[in-house]
Amino acid sequence: MILSIESSCDDSSIAITEIATKKLIFHRKISQELEHAKYGGVVPELASRLHAVDLPKLLEEAEPFLNDLKAVAVTNEPGLSVTLLEGVAMAQALSIAKDLPLIPINHLKAHIYSLFIEKEAIFPILVLLISGGHTMVLDVKGYDEIKVLATTMDDSFGESFDKVAKMMGLGYPGGPIVEKLALQGDSKKFSMPIPLQNSPKLAFSYSGIKNAVRLVVEANQPLDEETKADIAASFQKAAIAHLMQKSKKIFKELKPRNFAIVGGASANLAVRKAFTNLCEEFDCNIHLADLAYCSDNAAMVGRCAVDAYELKKFISALDIEVQPRTDVI
Ligand code: ATP
Ligand code: FE
């Protein structure tokens, strides 16, 4: 079995995955969302302290499996340095004390593997990764064959939901709040620009929509509930239209047989619906992870680590480093 640890942002999580069957045996997660909500976003120092308190609690729960381990895996990039370090320190200690191989895991690769926790792995697959820090279209052919086809030039998709929610004083994280509010609003009420609409560039940009929302928010003070819902609906419609427009270009070119959406924002039902329709149009199979595995978790890290274990992607406990940003997935 492999013990996996996730602490790249504001979720502390530990999982146990069986190597031979790739099956998830144990999975626990403590989310810090409520603690950070007071500040309208993640406070790295607080997140780090909470990981230091919560990870040992989760490890204690995993105690029955600790004598059956063949390796320890940990997210070491990308993420917040001070929170990644908490998971890495625990993994180093376990690796040294129990003489186990250590597997460093890229968090974005782990998001891709969230698809394969309960299903057989499928390659090649075109993947849209939408999360708090990233907006990417990836051509995934295997563990070590991941090509970035498009990425964001500024804010990420999830981040734009967080910022829009903050502007309207709705709380954190903004994604689920804005999605829910949008259901009650009129998406035609405010016209929002669709970024890079006339550009051939295969890239995303969310700062323009965010600024358009800021102007509408400022022009409609004080915001009543109906206006907030209309802003949420208008924003979400433009944000998804942008994802769709650029993805459609890639679909036309690559004609993928398999497509997936991963990352925290892949929980958004309007996104799921829009891409289900796009896949129907292109006669492509759509793959979506269980909602429980969209946001950060150690189950996806463990599933990713099984493939890494088979490829012997080990590192010495004294050599592992954390990287806040990564170019290669
Ligand atoms: P990264 O994975 O890029 O390092 P992260 O780990 O912080 O970033 P995730 O936990 O994967 O991000 O996703 C969290 C993000 O997803 C937040 O920005 C949140 O607002 C967004 N999100 C969650 N649910 C939804 C939703 N229903 N609609 C839109 N966005 C959502
Ligand atoms: Fe994430």
Match domain 2-117+293-310 to its CATH number in 3.40.640.10, 1.10.3720.10, 3.30.420.40, 3.20.20.70: 3.30.420.40
Say if the ipTM goes beyond 0.95. yes
Look at residue 319 in the predicted model and tell me its pLDDT.
98
163 pocket-lining for ligand 1 (C-beta < 6 Å): no
Topology (CATH) of 125-288: Nucleotidyltransferase; domain 5 (3.30.420)
Fold matches, 2-117+293-310 and 125-288: yes
Q: What is the pLDDT of residues 55-97, one digit of tens each?
A: 999 999 999 999 999 999 999 999 999 999 999 999 999 999 9
Look at residue 125 in the predicted model and tell me its pLDDT.
98
Q: Three-class SS string for the chain?
A: CEEEEECCCCEEEEEEECCCCCCEEEEEEEECHHHHHCCCCCCHHHHHHHHHHHHHHHHHHCHHHHHHCCEEEEEEECCCHHHHHHHHHHHHHHHHHHCCCEEEEEHHHHHHHHHHCCCCCCCCEEEEEECCCCEEEEEEEECCEEEEEECECCCCHHHHHHHHHHHCCCCCCHHHHHHHHHCCCCCCCCCCCCCCCCCCCCCECCHHHHHHHHHHHHHCCCCCHHHHHHHHHHHHHHHHHHHHHHHHHHHHHHCCCEEEEECHHHHCHHHHHHHHHHHHHCCCEEEECCHHHCCCCHHHHHHHHHHHHHCCCCECCCCCCCCCCCCCC
Closest atom of ligand 1 to CA, residue 267:
27
Residue among 10, 30, 131, 304 to mutate when testing ligand 1 (max atoms within 8 A of CB): 131
10-34 mean pLDDT: 98
Extents of the domains making up the chain: 2-117+293-310, 125-288
pTM for this prediction: 0.97
Distance 9 CA to ligand 2 centre (A): 7
